Structure 1
Amino acid sequence: MNQTIEIMITADGQTRVETKGFTGSDCRTASRFLEQALGQTTSEQLKPEFHQSASEKEHLQEDV
């Protein structure tokens, strides 16, 4: 899966950064510069992929 970072901006100016295709804390590393540029983080939701290691992801892809 490709690694992507999506930035959503609502009509009232709120922003949301969503990462896809990352495992573990790689998502935080990849999106840190955007979060710093956009301002204070008010909430964070971790996806199941955050709790996976890279080797677990490779194993899951082989089974598919």
Structure 2
Amino acid sequence: MQKIEVVVTPQGETTVTTVGFKGKSCQDATKQLEQALGIVQSEQKLPSFYQTEGASQQARQ
């Protein structure tokens, strides 16, 4: 399940977090939202960003 979580603090700062996305698809999903919110001051990539879409990680012996 993919979702985009937006948190707005009382000071007006926003945080956008994606869940369930792999690779660059998270950036594609939030691009228009980020543009509407204003200037991105920082970006933190989660481990799922570095996974390829459609690939699964399996240990083989």
Q: TM-score range by the shorter chain?
A: 0.7 to 0.9
Deviations 1:16-51 (A, max 9, x none): 110000000000000001000000000000000000
Provide TM-score, normalisation by structure 2: 0.88
Partner of 1:12: 11
Question: What value does the CA root-mean-square deviation take over the aligned residues?
Answer: 1.6
Instruction: Indicate whether 1:43 and 2:42 are aligned.
Output: yes
Aligned length: 59
5+ long unaligned stretches in structure 2: none
* Secondary structure of the structure 1 residue equivalent to 2:7: strand
Q: 1: CA distance between counterparts of 2:51 and 2:3?
A: 17
* Secondary structure of the structure 1 residue equivalent to 2:54: helix
* Secondary structure of the structure 2 residue equivalent to 1:55: coil
Partner of 1:53: 52
Spell out the pairing of 1:18-37 with structure 2 (5 A cutoff): 18-37=17-36
Provide TM-score, normalisation by structure 1: 0.84
